[in-house]
Every structure is written in structure tokens, then in C-alpha cells.
Amino acid sequence: MQTSISAARAGTLHQRIQHELRERIVAGHYAPQAQMPTESALMRQYGVSRITVRHALGALEKDQLIFKVPGKGSFVTQPKPFQPLGRLQGFAEAMGAQGHEPFNRLVSLETVAATPQVAARLQLPEGTAVTEIRRVRYLDRQPVSLDLTWMPLAIGTRLAHEDLATRDIFLILENDYGLRLGHADLSIDAVAADAPTAALLDVKTGSPLLRMDRLTHTDDGRPLDYEQLFCRNDNFQYRLRIARHAATQPETP
């Protein structure tokens, strides 16, 4: 039996097919790595031409929901793990809640002189001794990001004795050190991987990376944790939900 389609109500035929297939993928009707219906089957189901079906499948492939294997057909992609940015939380905290296996490889932890940029972010005199931490973040045994962290030396020397392979710094600061985190300012742009970063993340030199610049403050507004995160975009993503209207704020008494 063919599916009824109203072009006037739902746009072009291939857009409607694309929309319905997308809904089935997102809902789990087609599991990751599962084969999609063949072009011929979709032509019969929707009563459309092969070119219409190919337009719909091409759009899904462009959105990275499916991939094509020559001679075999189309298959559902494995969804990318993601970390939502609507809440301030650590990597392991966010990924563990989604059922993933996070792990950090500590590359280095040392005392360095604060560069002008680091000093400005942490509101310290330039050249002040700070702790610099370099970690490669793994998710389900694949490297996803290189995290560079700078902190005041008094906190950093304590962190040197902690298990930074399996624990989030945020949770250590709050649960062990009694420091309440308040908010973070962040910006995201794109950069090309230099040779050392590419080697750590197992990508080619020059590969595109997402770079996040994040400055985390205590609840009383003091800068505490400055980070630069270099993230692969082929196996991980950040997500943010943005409301059109801000939530109603309570009136100040």
C-alpha cells in the first residue's frame, strides 16, 4: 500500500519522504548500522520516481543520518555522542549520564608562568606561577578532545594528587574542595590541527577542530578555571537549545 502524500501540505515529495525517514531514524525504528529500505522499495511505497527517492536519501546523507555503501545500499549512521552546553558540567559527568565510557589520559601537569592571555583570564599578574594541565579525553575508547587547563597554583598543586583519569575537575572542586561553581563564559570557533595536537587526537595535521575557550567562575564571580578545548568534529559534538523568549525572571525584592 502506498503512503499518501500532499505536496501542497508538506512541501515537495522528496522533502516529505526525507522528513518521514528522518523521524523513523530518530525514533529508533531504524537502528544504527541498520540497512534502509532500497530505492525500489521506497519508490513503490511512495509512488514516486527514483530521482525523487535519491533526492530524499541524498539529503539524509548530507545531514549524516545515513551513509551509502556502493552496491549494497544505504545504512543508518552511528549517532555522534554530544555534550549539551545548556548546563555547566564536566565531561565525564555529562557522558557518563548518557551511558558512555569516558576516560582522561593525563599528558602533563606542571607549573608554568602565566602568559598574558592566561593571566588576563584568571585576573593574575602576567608571569604568575599557575598550574597547567593537559589531558586527552577519550569516549568509548576513542580520543575526542585535547583539553588545556590553567588554574591558580594553590588549587593546581592539590589537583596533582587527584585521580584525573576518571574524575572531573569540576566535581573535585565542588565535592572535595568545597568550591561552589557559578557560571562559565565560553566561545567556540574552528581551527586547523597542528602536528602535536593531531598526533594526540589521531587525526591528520590540518584537520578541522572545534576550539572552545571556557572560563569558569565560582558562585561569587571569581575566575577559577581557564580552559581551551580542541575537539574532533567527526566523532563528537556540542549541542545547545536556545529559547526564543527568555524565561521569566523573578522580580528583585
Q: What tens-digit pLDDT sequence spans the chain (253 residues)?
A: 444 444 433 348 888 898 889 888 777 788 878 899 999 999 999 999 899 999 899 888 887 778 888 888 898 876 666 565 666 666 656 555 555 667 889 999 999 999 999 999 999 999 999 999 999 988 778 898 899 999 999 999 999 999 998 888 888 998 999 999 999 888 989 999 999 999 999 999 999 998 989 999 999 999 999 999 998 877 666 655 656 776 544 433 3
Are the C-beta atoms of residues 190 and 208 closer than 8 Å to each other? yes
- Residue ending a domain, choose from 44, 61, 76: 76
Is residue 32 located within the same domain as residue 65? Answer: yes
Is residue 151 located within the same domain as residue 186? Answer: yes
Is residue 50 located within the same domain as residue 173? Answer: no
Is residue 118 located within the same domain as residue 58? Answer: no
Is residue 134 located within the same domain as residue 219? Answer: yes
CA-based Rg of the chain, rounded to a whole angstrom?
A: 23
Is residue 178 located within the same domain as residue 235? Answer: yes
First to last CA, the chain: 64
Is residue 146 located within the same domain as residue 230? Answer: yes
Long-range CB pairs of 207-214, under 8 A, 24+ apart, other chains included: 207/232, 208/233, 209/233, 210/238, 212/186, 212/187, 212/188, 212/238, 213/186, 213/187, 213/188, 214/184, 214/185, 214/186
Q: What is the pLDDT of residue 250?
A: 43
- Residue ending a domain, choose from 76, 96, 111: 76
Is residue 43 located within the same domain as residue 57? Answer: yes
Evaluate whether residue 213 is within a structural domain: yes
pTM value is 0.63
What whole-number distance in Å separates Cα of residue 198 and Cα of residue 80? 20
For residue 233, what is its C-alpha cell?
568534529
Evaluate whether residue 4 is within a structural domain: no
Q: 39 is in which domain, residue-wise?
A: 11-76
Is residue 220 located within the same domain as residue 178? Answer: yes
Is residue 127 located within the same domain as residue 202? Answer: yes
List Cβ neighbours of 59 (8 Å cut-off, separation of 6 or more).
14, 15, 18
Nearest to 94 by CA among 104, 84, 86, 108: 84
